[in-house]
Structure 1
Amino acid sequence: MNVGTHRTAPPVNVVADGWLRRYPATTDVRRRLLVLPHAGGSAGFFHSWGTAFGSDTELLVASYPGRHDRMGEPCVTSMDELADRVTEAVLPFHDVPLSLFGHSMGASLAHEVALRLRHRHGRSPAALHVSSRMPPHRLTPRDLHEQGDEALIDEVRRLGGTDESVLGDPDLREIILPAIRADFTIVGTYGPRPADPVGCPVYAYIGDEDPSTSVEDMSAWSDVAADGFRLDVLPGGHFYLVEQREPLLRSVLARLHSADDGPRSS
């Protein structure tokens, strides 16, 4: 199984009232992967993943309000509201095995979406992939979202993953700060919550130099993984997935193929 290159921009459609960017399969769809971006992130961050998983795998990337083509929409500031909306958007795409991948805040969101699919709709994902985020029962509330703009920018810098030219430009900062503050409100007011099993295998990923989440923290995702757990530790920090794109995608691809038994019912 080869991971696709990202030299050519893959085609993308905006669906589900703007909530999803869809990278269509070029043959019959056998499986889908829903990607949930990090706090302050956007669907565009994962554009290079669009053709990485083969012709029969369709990629869906959540597009949060308040950024890019949804700039004019109010940001969401509640994890429960965000999870409700994303679950509603992705439900029509669960006719083939659906796996979830969430990075940082997106990992918590992926877990919440998985629980909603299972408990409200009786359909567990094929697998839950979580990256660089403590599990729900280890989280503690933070007040960073209540602090000034400089504190938010300092945290974004500490974690990495955002172009310094954007953070250093006052005009661009003013554009992106509302979405960053909204996402950090979600992060700061979410958890702890019970370690509710998701009814599917859980795969966890972390950089060995992540300043916000430890390998021990990521190991605790096993508490929600009654159907199997695996942890991959890769070189790098909180955004290890940029430098370690190829080995990460190879692992995800192999696990997508291993989950081809069909949509699960709970």
Structure 2
Amino acid sequence: MGNISADSTALWFRTFRKVPAPRVRLVCFAHAGAAASVFRLWHNDLPEDVEVVGVQCPGRQDRLVEEPIEQMDVLLDAISTTIQPLLTVPVAFLGHSLGASVAHELAARLEERYDHRITRLFVSARPAPHRLPHDETYLLNDDDLVKELRRFGNAEADLADDPEMREMVLPAIRADHALVANYGPQSTIRTITAPIDALVGTEDQDVSAEDMGYWSEVTTSDFTCRAFPGDHFYLLHDQTEMLRHVAERLS
């Protein structure tokens, strides 16, 4: 593999607090339609030697003019290449909702193609790959799509009330749900060797602790499941308790 430019890595990853010699780098993957900025304050609730990095996909914020990606393999090709310079220290992944699927698939790809094993995978509010429901959300018209986002408690639903903002945020959300539809459910489980910690909100109406328990079949290592107060987006409303748990698991 050729050299990866710093510019290409910076395009895909946002580091919100540079750590000179991180003990671990926590790479975070957001929910459908969201940007890396949802993780911008997480370093405040994590040890100083943990560096938080958010994945910035095309079609949002400073990458708004780029076409969103609708195929998992295309997304993995890009991220698995540009992440290489970040793998010089131990790396853990944390993915929320759709981001959990991306984080798992990337961890599996790094093992299979690059012989690189992450230290731990945190999956939040997302059924295991072989238990995913069929998702046709991307086929909804704009008004119905916003209603579905609001049902989930998605913060982007409020932005979509403004006509100009709607044109900016809905394409990425729709593309992410198309990615979900094109991706799953998976007939073959791609297991990883990293331990998996499942996280879920106690009031989540779409994903239960039982659903999260099937992630135990995705790892050949240890598995835990922990519930936190809140709905599907519990970790965006009050992430302190959840990040305390993450810090303990990374210690």
Give me the TM-score of the superposition, normalised by structure 1: 0.87
Once residues 97 and 36 of structure 1 are traced to their aligned partners in structure 2, the CA distance between those partners, rounded to angstroms, is 17
Relative to 1, partners in 2 of residues 1:163 and 1:147: Cα closer, same or farther, differing over 3 Å?
Answer: closer
Kindly state the Cα deviation for residue 50 of structure 1 after the two structures are TM-superposed.
Answer: 3.5
For 2:143, the equivalent position in structure 1 comes to: 150
Q: Secondary structure at the match of 1:220?
A: helix
Cα deviation 1:132-171 (Å, max 9, x = unaligned): 0011000132222122112211111111131554122112
Q: Does the Cα contact within 8 Å between 1:210 and 1:237 map onto a contact in 2? A: yes
Residue 139 of structure 1 pairs with residue 132 of structure 2: yes
Residue 246 of structure 1 pairs with residue 246 of structure 2: no
Once residues 62 and 121 of structure 1 are traced to their aligned partners in structure 2, the CA distance between those partners, rounded to angstroms, is 19
1:4-153 paired onto structure 2 within 5 Å: 16-153=9-146
Once residues 39 and 142 of structure 1 are traced to their aligned partners in structure 2, the CA distance between those partners, rounded to angstroms, is 12
Kindly state the Cα deviation for residue 14 of structure 1 after the two structures are TM-superposed.
Answer: 7.8
Q: Match of 1:76, as an amino acid? A: I
Q: Match of 1:16, as an amino acid? A: T
Once residues 164 and 116 of structure 1 are traced to their aligned partners in structure 2, the CA distance between those partners, rounded to angstroms, is 32
For 1:166, the equivalent position in structure 2 comes to: 159
Q: Does the Cα contact within 8 Å between 1:25 and 1:56 map onto a contact in 2? A: no
Once residues 243 and 168 of structure 1 are traced to their aligned partners in structure 2, the CA distance between those partners, rounded to angstroms, is 20
Q: Does the Cα contact within 8 Å between 2:45 and 2:240 map onto a contact in 1? A: no
Once residues 157 and 127 of structure 2 are traced to their aligned partners in structure 1, the CA distance between those partners, rounded to angstroms, is 26
Aligned positions, number: 245
Residue ranges of structure 1 left out of the alignment (5+ in a row): 1-12, 258-266
Kindly state the Cα deviation for residue 17 of structure 1 after the two structures are TM-superposed.
Answer: 4.6
Give me the TM-score of the superposition, normalised by structure 2: 0.92
Q: Secondary structure at the match of 1:86?
A: helix
- CA RMSD after TM alignment: 1.7
Q: Match of 1:212, as an amino acid? A: D
Kindly state the Cα deviation for residue 63 of structure 1 after the two structures are TM-superposed.
Answer: 0.2
| Larger helix share, 1 or 2 | 2
For 1:192, the equivalent position in structure 2 comes to: 185
Residue ranges of structure 2 left out of the alignment (5+ in a row): 1-5
Q: Match of 1:249, as an amino acid? A: L
For 1:10, the equivalent position in structure 2 comes to: none
Once residues 255 and 14 of structure 1 are traced to their aligned partners in structure 2, the CA distance between those partners, rounded to angstroms, is 32
Identity of aligned residues (%): 38
Cα deviation 1:51-89 (Å, max 9, x = unaligned): 432322211100010111001111111112112211212
Q: Does the Cα contact within 8 Å between 1:25 and 1:55 map onto a contact in 2? A: no
Q: Secondary structure at the match of 2:231?
A: coil
Q: Match of 2:115, as an amino acid? A: G
Kindly state the Cα deviation for residue 24 of structure 1 after the two structures are TM-superposed.
Answer: 4.1
Q: Does the Cα contact within 8 Å between 1:219 and 1:231 map onto a contact in 2? A: yes
Kindly state the Cα deviation for residue 195 of structure 1 after the two structures are TM-superposed.
Answer: 2.1
Q: Match of 2:235, as an amino acid? A: L
Relative to 1, partners in 2 of residues 1:14 and 1:204: Cα closer, same or farther, differing over 3 Å?
Answer: farther
Once residues 54 and 25 of structure 1 are traced to their aligned partners in structure 2, the CA distance between those partners, rounded to angstroms, is 13
Q: Does the Cα contact within 8 Å between 1:196 and 1:224 map onto a contact in 2? A: yes
